[in-house]
């Protein structure tokens, strides 16, 4: 059974923010959570990606059906009592690879063309490497994803004028007020998202104030954007004075609660406050949006603005999609080459080419060689190929279904320079099966004689 790549998860396309935040994983916890999944043996390799807009597990496994069930069960267990099965999706084989390429290239982002996602994917990959979750398949898949993302950004204009979630928040604030010039804007949090928002606010002429649990980080951000840093104990007084507040912290709990806002609103005496929460998990209790004179927006509310921005870059996005599809097909051809049958066929072909070339060089210098003698020489060269390949093929066959099968086959293809060998395409595209199907015989499967005398222990083609 061949090792296959799959992805199980949810995103802003399928699940609202209140579901996404229940499954989100802090960066420092990704490795530990991934190790728990890898310990179950069903998943050979894994990468866990968690951002404000998605939580996905990429996996490589000999039994993709079992691996998908394990991944799905893990995500469901994180959601608590409320069912979330309807929000989850699965991608298999080439579709999973293409999805990974689209995610890294920001084609699947809320804001198509935004630059942050590539860094987030690289962070997730580094965490997976640290947890021992990266092997031959996912290693190559994600390195290609990084290269594809670079191609998309350099060969298309998808990032031209592209905006992040942070800048969309500023665009929304600009629509709320006729102008942000002179308006008092409060940033709660001093991370990367807050920094992007701060720069955009400063460019719009807002008076900026930064509140953060770490005074040093608040000072650093305030210095960058020409704002004022405030201690975390100043959160309530600053909310009282603000025209608009943008929150983006890594807190697992609400930073702005309904109880806190009751004190704020009493002091504001009916003056409206606009809150834009771009954090996942959310910083602001959604009940705050029900309070009088409070206008609350979260990341899902920003999606309409993002869709308007996408319409302006549709042509460039189409060009980027073509790049992704082409790269995904190239990767799938390589992945198919890691199954045993194409490798055996290519290995025998390479050995025959070398031996026959040497034979022809020798025969061309011989006079009077008869047909009978030529047949004997041909038989001798075939026997030599069989004997030379017997032990390597025995080892390949014996390890064809182990967790290190892809690594061993990849090594064989590299050692004997089989990377460019033609691989027969699969008979049908991969779909997520309802149940495990029986293996199919590959159209290019060698005979027992082609296996160098090995007894064929079942179909040599890729199993499902």
DSSP state of 54: E
* 3-class secondary-structure state, position 189: coil
**376: exposed, middle or buried (Cβ count in 10 Å: 0-12, 13-18, 19+):** exposed
CB 346 within 8 A of CB 421: yes
Q: Is 144 helix (H, G, I), strand (E, B) or coil?
A: helix
CA-nearest of 35, 297, 81, 74 to 169 is 297
Give the C-alpha separation, 341 to 444, whole Å. 7
H, E, C per residue of 193-228: HHHHHHHHHHHCCCEEEEECCCHHHHHHHHHHHCCE
CA 220 to each of CA 10, 104, 141, 229: distance values in angstroms, whole numbers, following the listed order: 35, 29, 37, 8
Q: Does the annotation mark 230 as catalytic?
A: no
137/359 Cα distance (integer angstroms): 38
Smallest Cα–Cα separation from 246: which of 216, 214, 209, 218? 209
Token code pair at residue 253 = 């709990």
For tokens 């992007």, name the residue.
196
Catalytic residue among 52, 141, 225, 230: 52
Strand order, beta sheet including 273-277: 228-230, 207-211, 184-188, 244-247, 273-277, 294-297
Strand runs labelled E in 206-360? 207-211, 228-230, 244-247, 273-277, 294-297
Q: What CA–CA distance (Å, rounded) separates 349 from 119?
A: 43
Other beta carbons within 10 Å of 29: 13
Q: For residue 338, what are the CA distances in angstroms to 36, 138, 169, 414, 450?
A: 27, 13, 46, 11, 18
State the catalytic residues: 52
């Amino acid at each position: 059974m061949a090792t296959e790549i799959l992805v199980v998860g949810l995103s802003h396309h399928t699940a609202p923010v209140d579901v996404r935040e229940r499954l989100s994983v802090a960066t420092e916890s990704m490795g530990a959570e991934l190790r728990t999944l890898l310990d179950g043996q069903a998943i050979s390799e894994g990468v866990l990606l968690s951002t404000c807009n998605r939580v996905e597990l990429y996996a490589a496994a000999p039994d993709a059906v079992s691996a998908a069930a394990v991944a799905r069960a893990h995500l469901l267990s994180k959601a608590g009592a409320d069912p979330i099965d309807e929000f989850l999706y699965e991608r298999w084989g080439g579709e999973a690879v293409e999805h990974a390429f689209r995610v890294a290239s920001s084609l699947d982002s809320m804001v198509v063309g935004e630059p942050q996602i590539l860094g987030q994917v690289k962070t997730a990959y580094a965490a997976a490497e640290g947890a021992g979750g990266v092997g031959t398949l996912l290693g190559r898949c994600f390195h290609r994803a990084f290269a594809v993302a670079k191609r998309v950004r350099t060969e298309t204009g998808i990032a031209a004028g592209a905006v992040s979630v942070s800048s969309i928040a500023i665009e929304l604030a600009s629509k709320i007020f006729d102008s942000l010039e002179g308006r008092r804007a409060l940033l709660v949090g001093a991370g990367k998202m807050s920094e992007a928002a701060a720069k955009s606010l400063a460019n719009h002429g807002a008076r900026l104030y930064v509140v953060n649990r770490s005074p040093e980080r608040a000072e650093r951000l305030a210095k960058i954007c020409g704002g004022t840093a405030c201690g975390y104990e100043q959160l309530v007084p600053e909310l009282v004075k603000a025209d608009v507040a943008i929150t983006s912290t890594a807190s697992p709990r609400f930073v702005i609660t309904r109880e806190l806002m009751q004190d704020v609103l009493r002091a504001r005496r009916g003056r409206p406050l606009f809150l834009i929460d771009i954090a996942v998990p959310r910083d602001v209790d959604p009940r705050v949006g029900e309070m009088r004179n409070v206008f609350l927006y979260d990341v899902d509310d920003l999606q309409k603005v993002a869709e308007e921005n996408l319409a302006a870059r549709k042509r460039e996005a189409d060009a980027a999609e073509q790049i992704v599809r082409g790269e995904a097909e190239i990767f799938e051809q390589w992945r198919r080459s890691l199954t045993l049958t194409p490798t055996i066929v290519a290995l025998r072909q390479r050995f025959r080419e070398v031996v026959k070339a040497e034979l022809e060089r020798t025969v061309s210098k011989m006079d009077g060689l008869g047909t009978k003698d030529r047949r004997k020489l041909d038989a001798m060269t075939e026997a030599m190929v069989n004997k030379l390949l017997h032990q390597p093929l025995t080892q390949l066959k014996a390890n064809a279904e182990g967790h290190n099968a892809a690594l061993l086959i990849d090594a064989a293809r590299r050692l004997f320079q089989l990377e460019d060998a033609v691989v027969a395409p699969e008979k049908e595209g991969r779909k997520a099966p309802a149940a495990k199907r029986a293996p199919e015989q590959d159209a290019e499967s060698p005979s027992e004689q082609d296996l160098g005398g090995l007894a064929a222990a079942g179909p040599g083609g890729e199993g499902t």
